Amino acid sequence: MRYMTTDDYGFDTLAIHAGQDPDPRTGAVVPPIYQTSTYAQDAVGAPRLGYEYSRSGNPTRDALQECLAAIEGGRRGLAFASGLAAEDTLLRTVCRPGDHVVIPNDAYGGTYRLFAKVAERWGLDWTAAPLDDLDAVRAAFRPGHTRLIWAETPTNPVLNIADVSALAGLAHEYDALLAVDNTFASPYLQQPLALGADVVIHSTTKYLGGHSDVVGGGLVVSDAGLGDELAFHQNAMGAVNGPFDAWLTLRGIKTLGVRMDRHCDNAERIVGYLSEHEMVAQVLYPGLDTHPGHETAAKQMRRFGGMVSFRAAGGPEQAVEICNRAKLFVLAESLGGVESLIEHPGQMTHLSAAGSALEVPADLVRLSVGIETVDDLLADLEQALG
């Protein structure tokens, strides 16, 4: 496959073609699903095209990995069975027992659980800090032990913004790495590697897959050496995605750009509506001029995304009632699909953070704004808000 870069083509062209040349045998314009576990070898020690066993390499997964690298502007992409599988592989590649990581004080609940309930038992220490406060991040550093800053921007679910370039400078000052979870923004809206990050993380389940029909994860890096280390651990740990999952994710990526534009259009209309509603105490969206991270987001993002959170004026009980009354907004976890979703983070996606420093407000409602007709979405919110 010919390696394609952003120097050659625009984003949408890369999303459709990178890693996806027509099949040389049949001319199929869509990469085949190589639904196989093993491969015939031409001789002992001579696997055909390097393929031996599908945990170690699969042509469909390779196509996805090349596409991931291209759309993030990286040198190497790696695909995994889930976003958390990608996170775990990254941690155990770049960290050792006794190392330390700085994480957001409003991180995704699954990331918090991975650090607090799994990695900590392995001997990895961590500190939660507000990543939009560089002084707080610096204060959390343990020179000689802090190996990684783990960033989300926008964060899940309160949509805080971190300055990727500034965090990269701080991490590199201490010979640490910066990893950025780019799931909420997607590569279409933000490319952290170009801003100085060392690793980009994705739950490809979300906007990249885009249709709520596949679970996956991804890592993208610019440094070839780090890419080799991650690839070794990907194979050694084995949390790879299957060929059909890789194929579904590739299919989703083809329409990422056009979908993200509609997600953003709809989200902006909904933010305007919620901002004027008497039953809404606060709207959390980086596209608002009043958002504390608005200027930073405007600097590093193409647009402000399809995720919207708000706090119910009537408190936690009202927040739950709004979620339960919604009809077109489906009450469900996850995000980034073509259909709109609503959830109560405190009792759903972020329940694992309850009672910790990362606990989310009980009156918070999170919307994943889909690509439906926006007037229908607004009407559903009207009746849900009562």
Residue 112 annotated in active site: no
Sign of CA dihedral 137, 138, 142, 144: positive
d(C-alpha 314, C-alpha 264), whole Å: 27
d(C-alpha 155, C-alpha 201), whole Å: 13
Tell me if 97 sits within 8 A of 233, measured CB to CB.
no
d(C-alpha 348, C-alpha 350), whole Å: 6
**Listed residue (25, 22, 27) closest to 1, CA to CA:** 22
Q: Which of 9, 55, 75, 251 is catalytic?
A: 55
Angle CA(162)–CA(122)–CA(353) in degrees, nearest 5?
A: 45
**3-state SS, one letter per residue, for 278-298:** CCEEEEECCCCCCCCCHHHHH
Amino acid at site 143 = P
Pairing of strands 76-80, 217-221: antiparallel
d(C-alpha 328, C-alpha 315), whole Å: 23
**Listed residue (205, 246, 188) closest to 13, CA to CA:** 188
**Listed residue (109, 90, 176) closest to 140, CA to CA:** 176
Question: Which residues fall within 8 angstroms of residue 53, CB to CB, at 6 or more apart?
Answer: 37, 38, 39
Please give the DSSP secondary-structure letter assigned to residue 97: T
Residue 254 annotated in active site: no
Residue 181 annotated in active site: yes
Furthest C-alpha separation in the chain: 73
Residue 55 annotated in active site: yes
Tell me if 60 sits within 8 A of 34, measured CB to CB.
yes
Report the half-sphere exposure of 7 (CA within 13 A, side-chain side): 4
Q: Which of 61, 147, 206, 366 is catalytic?
A: 206
Residue 61 phi, psi (nearest 5): -65, -40
Any idea which residues carry the catalytic annotation?
A: 55, 108, 181, 206
